[in-house]
Chains A and B, each alone.
Chain A
Amino acid sequence: MGDDGPRVRTYLLVYVLLLGLLGATTGLAFLDLGGAGAAAALLIAAMKALLVLLFFMHLRGSPRLVWLFAGVGFYWLAILVSLSLSDLLTRPWFSSVLGSRP
Chain B
Amino acid sequence: MNASFPPTEPYATLEEQRDSATLGMWVFLSAEVVFFGALLLSFVSYRISYPRDFDVASRQTKVALGTLNTGVLLTSSLFMALAVRAARKGERRGTIGWILGTMSLGFGFLAIKAAEYVLEIQDQLFPGPHFYLPGADPGHARLFFLCYFILTSVHALHVTIGLGLLGVLAVRAAWGSLCREKGHQVEIAGLYWHFVDLVWIFLFPLLYLLGRHPPHG
Contact = CB atoms under 8 A, between A and B. Distances in A.
Nearest to B209: A29
Interface string B20-44: 0011001101111110011001001
Contacts of B214: 32
B197 A52 contact: yes
Given A52-B201, A53-B198, A4 B49 contact: no
B215 A34 contact: yes
A93 interface: no
B104 interface: no
A85 B165 CA distance: 37
A87 B163 CA distance: 40
B98 to A, nearest CB: 11
Contacts of B16: none
B212 interface: yes
Interface stretch (B66-74, B149-157, B171-179): B66-74
Contacts of A94: none
A81 B41 contact: yes
Given A25-B205, A33-B213, A88-B45, A56 B32 contact: no
Contacts of A30: 212-213
B213 A32 contact: yes
By size class, the interface of chain B is 35 or more
Interface size class of A (residues with CB under 8 A): 35 or more
Given A18-B77, A42-B205, A56-B197, 10 more contacts: A29-B210, A30-B213, A37-B212, A41-B209, A48-B201, A56-B78, A65-B23, A69-B27, A73-B37, A89-B48
Interface of A: 3-6, 8, 11-12, 14-15, 18-19, 22, 25-26, 29-34, 37-38, 41-42, 44-45, 48-49, 52-53, 55-58, 62-63, 65-66, 69-70, 72-74, 76-77, 80-81, 84-85, 88-89, 102
- Pairs A-B, 7 closest by C-beta atoms: A73-B30, A73-B33, A29-B209, A69-B26, A41-B205, A77-B37, A29-B212
24 contacts: A4-B89, A5-B85, A11-B82, A12-B78, A15-B77, A29-B213, A32-B214, A37-B210, A37-B212, A44-B205, A52-B194, A56-B80, A56-B81, A56-B194, A56-B197, A57-B190, A72-B30, A73-B31, A73-B33, A80-B37, A80-B38, A80-B41, A88-B45, A88-B49
